[in-house]
Amino acid sequence: MKNQFSSILKTFKGGVHPPDEKHQTCDKPIQDFMDPQGDMIYPMQQHLGAPCRPIVKKGDSVLRDQIIGEPTGLGAYIYTSVSGTVKDVKPVLHPNGTKVLSVIIENDHQYHTLEKNIKPCSYKELTKEEILERIKLAGIVGMGGAGFPTHIKLNPAPDKKIEYVIMNGSECEPYLTSDYRVMLEDSWRVVNGLRIALSLFPEAKACIGIENNKPKAIETLQSYIQDEKDMEIVTLKTKYPQGGEKQLIYAVTGREVPSGGLPADVGCIVLNVDTVVAISRAVTQARPLQRRIVTVAGDCVKNPGNFRVRIGTSFQEVVDAAGGLVKKPSKIICGGPMMGMPVSTLEIPVIKTSSCILLLSEEKSILPEESACIRCGKCIEACPIHLQPYELNQLVLRRDWDAFARLHGTDCIECGSCSYVCPAKRHLTQTCKLGRKTIADLRKQAAAKGGKN
């Protein structure tokens, strides 16, 4: 994609410029793949928080838009996206690489839909509480990858004065274009969903952050908001990880979210593009979250593109819808190449947070051999959190978890920028991930024993 609007660009400090690789899919309209043939799999963990409790059992008949998983704490409802029969409720491989309790449904291909009491209407007919209730009931979570329940994000503590509702249209990960296509093709719902979120915060304005390599998205959304006094588009410099929550907030508002803090601490709420579309569908059309847009890309795919799919569809079927494989992938990634999760098989389901299925050949996914650090400092310059990745790498290799925490290693967002720029190809991101996970585990163990770590 070309860079434009270069005179008024906002950005953050640090970051890198990997090839964006969006040419494969950016000009291809979203295709519907809405009648999958195989069993549908609905993991009870599709959000940040505790897994849902399945409320159906083997042999039950279900209708589309029926609740099959209820939150047991922090979480969001899980709905069927087809009608049919519950074939089983058992642990199944999840995109996160673990086995997770899942409801398996045999699709009857009728798509009979559950009649509900909630009726479609304009958000203007609803109170704030009714809007939040519709969003909660729809099971909406952050669809950019984090999976944080949206009804909780949109209901911050009363002492948090929200001044900015920011839509994250940056889509800075290479290969991904699903948000871009949604901004072009579903612009009314994007603006309507953002308008609904904004209505919850009377003192706020809405900002749509879009990188300058997406001029068509900027022009299209600008035409939809030209009469909206409290909405503006903020053109961002194309740089990775521009779409990171803290980086986006800094670029748009100049505010820094403190270590361990939340966007609401600096008066901000950040929402993903597909999430605001889901808000629009939930509030205006009374529909739960049961479909999403997925980019299928990489040099192993015959016809890369963007697909509208039912949540629960297998990755394999979505890849088949893209024409299948032209060569054997050496790496399959759920998400983008920088922050995505490598997976070992395509026999896993699309969940609420599945933005991309990336299939890369060996030549595109070689992990180079590490050599000794040459103290060039490039990793420090690239780190958007202002950490010292080479130092954190050494601390993890020495298993010095206290020092890792003291140097704010737990603030790492695992963006991969340090590894990307390192001339010695040190595995900086991987060691930061290990450090963060180890400290989280140690803290959990300490909490279980009633102590502190």
Residues that bind ligand SF4 (CB under 6 A): 373-379, 382-385, 387, 389-390, 412-418, 421-424, 426, 428-429, 432
Residue 429 beta carbon to ligand SF4: minimum distance, rounded to whole angstroms: 4
- CA-based angle 270:272:275, to the nearest 5? 115
Task: Output 277 or 412, the one with its CB closest to ligand SF4.
Answer: 412
Task: Output 34 or 424, the one with its CB closest to ligand SF4.
Answer: 424
Taking alpha carbons only, the member of 18, 385, 11 closest to residue 210 is: 11
Residue 392 beta carbon to ligand SF4: minimum distance, rounded to whole angstroms: 6
Task: Output 146 or 286, the one with its CB closest to ligand SF4.
Answer: 146
Please give the backbone phi and psi of residue 327, each rounded to the nearest 5 degrees, phi first. -155, 165
Give 404-419 as a DSSP string.
Answer: HHHTTGGG-----HHH
Order across the sheet with 331-334: list the strands: 31-33, 305-310, 291-297, 356-360, 331-334, 341-343
Residue 173 beta carbon to ligand SF4: minimum distance, rounded to whole angstroms: 13
Residue 380 beta carbon to ligand SF4: minimum distance, rounded to whole angstroms: 7
Report CA 211 to chain centroid distance, whole Å. Answer: 17
Residue 334 beta carbon to ligand SF4: minimum distance, rounded to whole angstroms: 18
Q: Token digits for 281? A: 């569908």
> Tell me, what DSSP letter sits at residue 344?
S
Task: Output 112 or 408, the one with its CB closest to ligand SF4.
Answer: 408
Please give the backbone phi and psi of residue 382, each rounded to the nearest 5 degrees, phi first. -80, -25
Q: What is the CA radius of gyration of the chain?
A: 22
What is the SS3 assignment for 29?
A: coil
Residue 382 beta carbon to ligand SF4: minimum distance, rounded to whole angstroms: 6
d(C-alpha 249, C-alpha 81), whole Å? 34
Residue 338 beta carbon to ligand SF4: minimum distance, rounded to whole angstroms: 9
Task: Output 315 or 404, the one with its CB closest to ligand SF4.
Answer: 404
Q: How close are the terminal C-alpha atoms of the chain, in Å?
A: 47
Task: Output 239 or 281, the one with its CB closest to ligand SF4.
Answer: 239
CB 205 within 8 A of CB 230: yes
Order across the sheet with 231-236: list the strands: 231-236, 205-211, 164-168, 268-272
Task: Output 66 or 429, the one with its CB closest to ligand SF4.
Answer: 429
User: Which residues have a Cβ under 8 Å from the Cβ of 105 and sit 6 or more positions away?
Assistant: 39, 40, 41, 42, 62, 68, 80, 82, 84, 85, 86, 87, 312
Residue 433 beta carbon to ligand SF4: minimum distance, rounded to whole angstroms: 8
- CA-based angle 387:392:393, to the nearest 5? 130
Task: Output 88 or 400, the one with its CB closest to ligand SF4.
Answer: 400
